[in-house]
């Protein structure tokens, strides 16, 4: 089970009824916060989620509207007695970009571990190794006006437990539960591996957070088959496609086209320009290309569950 909460939906400026775009993902007891603009911590409280147990802040890039909430978040965690390390990850330049933020946050009683993403490939092994239940966070390159990344979270799902195989191997049914949880057991004088009693891995869960980006190939590839996609949708109108692209953003239709191409299940639009008063007014522009599009709203939440079978 993966829970995703959209904390804010605004671009550039925090508005009275729209906090800056950020999202919190929780799965198997671990949490990732995607971006942290000014006001993200209070918007999270309004949305009814706590950021205090965040394990990792995954930054998509270093524009102010995505990082100015960090000094306050870091201090609040300190005030509330955090002792666990906090990971912060982001594109090239992380150390330099975070320097004034860490200086502002001042002395704190827990460790902050900065993980600068390499130009290609994954860099979250340190974190992923500790994530229970086969969960994995990966970053992918996006195309904004500065170095940028999107993030893809996947939760694997083991194959179905096959009791007939366990019986055939002489495993008493008191040990079946351990095998189902992915642990090996000793039975009939040897070690029985989970893979011996489980069917083929089943479809897991996948979530993608684009950050700020224009429509691009790497994005479509990363979104392939996602259960939920939260996407840059800075502009609403179809005739703003070029404008959006020039500024390293998407309009509603471009976000929907990516969702359609990648075969995602559901698309949430976010990161609205303040020119967009009522996102619903432009929703048809997206639905024409991808029917299962929803206008993201501050505080909106989804629980992603494994399919039956």
**Annotated active-site positions, please?**
65
Q: How far apart are CA 66 and CA 212, in angstroms?
A: 10
* Binding segment (CB under 8 A) for its own copies, from list 41-49, 122-130, 167-175, 265-273: 41-49
Q: How far apart are CA 275 and CA 294, in angstroms?
A: 19
* Binding segment (CB under 8 A) for its own copies, from list 6-14, 119-127, 158-166, 287-295: 6-14
**Closest CB to its own copies among 158 and 276?**
276
Sheet holding 202-209, edge to edge: 135-141, 149-157, 202-209, 228-232, 266-270, 293-295
Query: From the list 1, 28, 29, 45, which residue makes contact with its own copies (rule: CB under 8 A)?
Result: 45
Q: How far apart are CA 115 and CA 95, in angstroms?
A: 9
Q: Angle 94-105/70-79 helices, nearest 10 degrees?
A: 50
HSE on the CB side for 49, CA within 13 Å?
A: 27
* Binding segment (CB under 8 A) for its own copies, from list 40-48, 165-173, 184-192, 204-212: 40-48
Closest CB 255 distance from its own copies, rounded Å: 23
Closest CB 162 distance from its own copies, rounded Å: 49
Interactions with its own copies, residue window 84-143 (CB under 8 A): 99-101, 103-106
Closest CB 74 distance from its own copies, rounded Å: 9
> Rule CB under 8 A: is residue 15 a binding residue for its own copies?
yes
Q: How far apart are CA 204 and CA 38, in angstroms?
A: 34
* Binding segment (CB under 8 A) for its own copies, from list 36-44, 161-169, 260-268, 301-309: 36-44
Closest CB 80 distance from its own copies, rounded Å: 9
Q: How far apart are CA 260 and CA 107, in angstroms?
A: 47
Q: How far apart are CA 130 and CA 59, in angstroms?
A: 20
Per-residue x/- track, 47-76, its own copies (CB under 8 A):
-----------------xx--xx-xx--xx
Burial of 3: CB neighbours in 10 Å, binned 0-12, 13-18, 19+: middle
**Closest CB to its own copies among 103 and 120?**
103
Closest CB 45 distance from its own copies, rounded Å: 4
Site residues (CB under 8 A) for its own copies? 12-16, 19, 37-39, 41-42, 45-46, 64-65, 68-69, 71-72, 75-76, 79, 99-101, 103-106
């Amino acid at each position: 089970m993966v829970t995703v909460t959209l904390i804010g939906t605004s671009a550039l400026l925090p508005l009275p009824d729209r906090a800056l775009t950020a999202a919190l993902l929780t799965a198997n007891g671990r949490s990732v916060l995607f971006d942290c603009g000014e006001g993200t911590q209070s918007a999270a409280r309004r949305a009814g989620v706590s950021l205090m147990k965040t394990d990792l802040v995954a930054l998509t890039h270093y524009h102010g509207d995505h990082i100015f909430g960090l000094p306050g978040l870091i201090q609040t965690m300190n005030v509330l007695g955090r002792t666990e390390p906090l990971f912060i990850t982001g594109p090239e330049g992380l150390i330099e970009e975070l320097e004034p933020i860490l200086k502002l946050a001042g002395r704190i009683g827990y460790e902050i571990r900065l993980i600068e993403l390499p130009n290609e490939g994954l860099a979250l092994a340190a974190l992923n190794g500790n994530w229970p239940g086969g969960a994995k966070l990966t970053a992918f390159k996006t195309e904004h006006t500065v170095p940028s990344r999107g993030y893809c979270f996947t939760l694997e799902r083991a194959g179905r437990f096959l009791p007939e195989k366990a019986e055939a191997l002489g495993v008493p049914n008191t040990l079946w539960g351990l095998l189902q949880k992915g642990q090996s057991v000793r039975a009939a004088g040897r070690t029985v591996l989970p893979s011996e009693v489980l069917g083929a891995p089943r479809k897991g869960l996948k979530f993608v957070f684009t950050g700020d980006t224009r429509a691009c190939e790497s994005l479509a590839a990363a979104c392939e088959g996602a259960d939920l996609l939260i996407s840059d949708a800075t502009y609403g109108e179809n005739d703003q496609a070029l404008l959006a692209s020039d500024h390293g953003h998407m309009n509603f239709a471009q976000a929907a086209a990516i969702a359609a191409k990648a075969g995602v299940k559901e698309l949430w639009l976010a990161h609205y320009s303040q020119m967009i008063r009522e996102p619903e007014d432009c929703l048809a522009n997206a639905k024409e290309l991808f029917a299962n599009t929803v206008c993201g709203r501050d505080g909106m939440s989804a629980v992603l569950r494994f399919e039956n079978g």
